[in-house]
Amino acid sequence: VAGVGFGLMSDAFSVINLLADALGPSTVGIHKDSQLYFLTSAFMTMVLIFLHTFWGILFFHGCEHQCWWEITAVVIMHLAVSRSTFHSPLYMGSLMPSYLLMATAATWACLLSGGSAQNLHCFLLCKS
């Protein structure tokens, strides 16, 4: 719950900044900027909400079991995603690594929460 709340609140501020850019005196895309600014920002906002949720699971599991390498991994993943958004001048360049990291964090969080391939298979086939 803490991860979802933090993800939603941080991305609410991100959306406010996007809306301010949309209303602002200039138009996005002038001076050879990406025409996909708003679309990629929406996808980046979505991946950050999911990542904060999974990071919350991993971080608190690491705190509860005193697995310091899990806590360190969460901090490193957070810095990697943040760096990829600053490093890439193209907005699309940070989406693919972020989504790959999200899939990794989701799998890891699912396994730590007691999930398995058999549980996932039963869930998808609506079996009990």
Domain that residue 117 falls in: 1-126
Q: Count up the domains in the chain and report the number.
A: 1
Token representation of residue 123: 């869930």
pLDDT at 105 over 90: yes
CA distance 67 to 108: 14
Token representation of residue 28: 């996005």
CA distance 53 to 34: 29
Instruction: Write out pLDDT tens, residues 108-125.
Output: 998 998 888 888 788 888
pLDDT at 39: 79
pLDDT at 27: 60
pLDDT bucket at 68, cuts 50 / 70 / 90: very high
**HEC states along 42-82?**
HHHHHHHHHHHHHHHHHHHHHHHHCCHHHHHHHHHHHHHHH
pLDDT at 71: 94
pTM for this prediction: 0.76
